[in-house]
Every structure is written in C-alpha cells, then in structure tokens.
Amino acid sequence: MNSSETAPRIASARPELTAALMAQTGLDEEMLSDLVHRFYDKVRGDAVLGPIFEARIADWQPHLERMVAFWSSVALMTGRYHGAPVPAHMHLPVRWAHFDRWLALFRETAREICTPEGADHVIERAERIARSLHMAIEDAAGDQRTSAPTLR
C-alpha cells in the first residue's frame, strides 16, 4: 500500500494517525462539521444554555469554524486547533448542571450525525473534557474563596 492510499483527505500534522482514526471511527471533517453546526443550533435554542452563549458570542461563524478545528484535533488528532479552552470557560456562570445539559445535547446530536463508533469516540472525549473544564472552574472559584483577606 503506498502512502497516498493511507493518507487522510484532510490536512493533518499526523497523517497516518489521522487516517487510522478515520478508518476506526468512520469520522471525517465533513461529519464533524455537521456535528458542530447541528449541536450549536440546539445549544442556541436551549432555554438554559442559549442565553449564556448569546451573551458572549456576537459572530457565530468564527466560533463554529474554531469548534470544527477543535473537534478535528480532538477526534482525529489533526493538530488543527491552537486555542486555549480553559480560560474561555473560567468565568462563565456555570455549574455541573450546565455541563450535564451540554453533554445531553452533544450525545443526542452525535448519535444523530455520526456512525455508532464515531459517536462513542466523540462522546467519550466530550465527557472527559467537560469534567476537566468543570474541575478548572471549581478550582478557580475555590482559589478566590481562599484568597480572601487573611486573618490578623
């Protein structure tokens, strides 16, 4: 088999790894783009999550493009995303219940759009990242509490 047969049809910093992940999960850039667009349509229409996003995102096009690059990096290891998710969430008015709702919409959308293996793959990663974002938010809130004026 020559390298053009194993190379993925999308740009990747690690073409062989990306090709293997695409074969294993059935995911590709187009499916991830559909997932992101459909998911944020639902988020924007959600009574709890919608207003949190709408208050912070004026122009959705760059956000959606960033999110496709993020999922391309997370699910297919393409290295397309170069942002910093933790600071973007640090001061959001969210508790675990918000992440729970986010995950419920994400699972539902992944099952609608992706292959079963692809849905399992992205859901597992979303659950792990949601837990670590939530932990970072809770830690930051805890630090603020402990940095209250010291007792004399």
- The residues binding ligand HEM (CB under 6 A) are 49, 52-53, 56-57, 66, 70, 83-85, 88-89, 92, 94, 98-99, 102, 126, 129-130, 133
63 is in an annotated binding site: yes
Both tokens of 19, joined, read 């090709």
Cβ proximity to ligand HEM: between 9 and 111 the closer is: 111
Q: How far, in Å, CA of 20 to CA of 7, rounded? A: 9
Select from 76, 106, 94 the least CA-distant residue to 7: 76
Cβ proximity to ligand HEM: between 37 and 66 the closer is: 66
Residue 111, number of CB atoms within 10 A of its CB: 13
Q: Closest approach of Cβ 63 to ligand HEM, in Å?
A: 6
| Eight-state DSSP code of residue 10 | S
Cβ proximity to ligand HEM: between 9 and 91 the closer is: 91
Q: Closest approach of Cβ 9 to ligand HEM, in Å?
A: 23
Q: Closest approach of Cβ 32 to ligand HEM, in Å?
A: 13
Q: Closest approach of Cβ 58 to ligand HEM, in Å?
A: 9
Which residues, including other chains, have CB under 8 Å from residue 91's CB and lie 6 or more apart?
A: 140
Report residue 82: phi and psi, to 5°: -130, 30
User: Which amino acid, 11?
Assistant: A
Cβ proximity to ligand HEM: between 35 and 130 the closer is: 130
Length of the chain: 152
Q: Which residues are annotated as a binding site for heme?
A: 63
Q: Which residues are annotated as a binding site?
A: 63
